[in-house]
Structure 1
Amino acid sequence: MKVNIGLKEQDLQATTELLNKLLANEHILYMKTRNAHWNVVGKDFHAQHLFFETQYSAIQTFIDDIAERVRALGHIAVATLKQYLELTHLDEEEFIKNDSISYIKALLSDHESIIIQLRADIEVIGEKYGDEGTADFLTGLMESHEKMAWMLRAHLS
């Protein structure tokens, strides 16, 4: 059934395209954080293993929330690895060292990249497409990524 929430179909389409790109980025970040959780080694193993678990658990919630937002807007959430790799702007990477600092630096860079993209998307979705609900949703998500980035950054000080 067609969504009738006061937004034009072309604006809903454009908004959900941005959301699906975000969904792809979140999935890549989720897997990279899982990788860190599974493969971190060093004297700080236990603490970092638990820390990365906290981070990927939060990202898992983001993923579900984004997909549900796409569906609430009447569109299909991308849901294949192929689509994620086509849509993401993040890089997959293999780590030469499995130390916490290497993982933290890479994850921090990805969070900051997502934050920058979210800022741009919030402006476009709110001002150009008139979807204040999605803009607000993305603002909350951006704040969560900012907090996660702070937590990662604190390990590097």
Structure 2
Amino acid sequence: MNKTTDILQDFGSLADVRIGLSAEVRAQSVHALNRLLAHTMAIRDAYKKAHWQTSGAAFYQLHLLFDKHYGEQELIMDTIAERVQTLGGVTFALAGDVADESSIARAPRGRESALAQLERLVTAHETILIEARPLARTAADIGDDGTNDLIVSQVVRANELQSWFIGEHLAAQSKAGNTQ
């Protein structure tokens, strides 16, 4: 069996969907959304790693918070992927795609202190937010209201809120001088 004949749609191509947007607009949004999807997959995985490996005085609080944020990022990830499909695109789906596309720093394999985990997560949120806002404005400018709405109402708002929660824990950890 020839593996190339099993591919229904090449990555980077668009299926013909009738949603009232030109192929050019859809292609631009698919590219932007795949970038956000890669970031979202990266931060989702960072949260699960932190959940599994957290330690120290705030273990229980952080363990629960990291798992909650993991679940929320997973929902955002699904919503982004569904929008890419709605636009006729093909989503990133594999770890290698995420590693190639996302600029979010990968955590080391070893166990980090809670402070290092929190710093890494707040930096990842900032990366997403810095990229998401202009992508939302561009989507609005090119007439892709669905993509604009998704980015603003789900990606930006959720990452702002999660960043705030992580920032509050980070401030408490720093204040306490806790490096575990």
Asked if 1:52 is matched to 2:66, the reply is yes
Partner of 1:74: 88
Is 2:28 the partner of 1:14? yes
Percent same amino acid at aligned positions? 27
1:20-31 to 2 correspondences below 5 Å: 20-31=34-45
State the TM-score, normalizing by the size of structure 2: 0.82
Q: Report the Cα offset of residue 95 of structure 1.
A: 6.7
Deviation sequence 1:52-108 (CA, Å, 0-9, x none)? 101101001111111011111111111111111111121212176622221111100
| Structure-2 residue corresponding to 1:64 | 78
Higher radius of gyration, 1 or 2 = 2
> 2:144 — aligned with what?
131
| Unaligned stretches of 5+ residues in structure 2 | 1-14, 172-180
Normalised to the residue count of structure 1, the TM-score between the two structures is 0.93
1:4 aligns with 2:54: no
- Of 38-47 and 61-70, more deviation after overlay is shown by 38-47
Pair 1:142 & 2:156 matched: yes
Q: Is the 8 A contact 2:53 2:111 kept in 1?
A: no
Q: Which residue of 1 aligns with 2:177?
A: none
- Within a 5 Å distance, the mapping from 1:62-141 to structure 2 comes to 62-94=76-108, 98-127=112-141, 129-140=142-153, 141=155
- Structure 1: segments with no counterpart, 5+ residues: none
- What letter corresponds to residue 43 of structure 2 in structure 1? L
Structure 1 CA distance for aligned equivalents of residues 64 and 43 of structure 2: 17
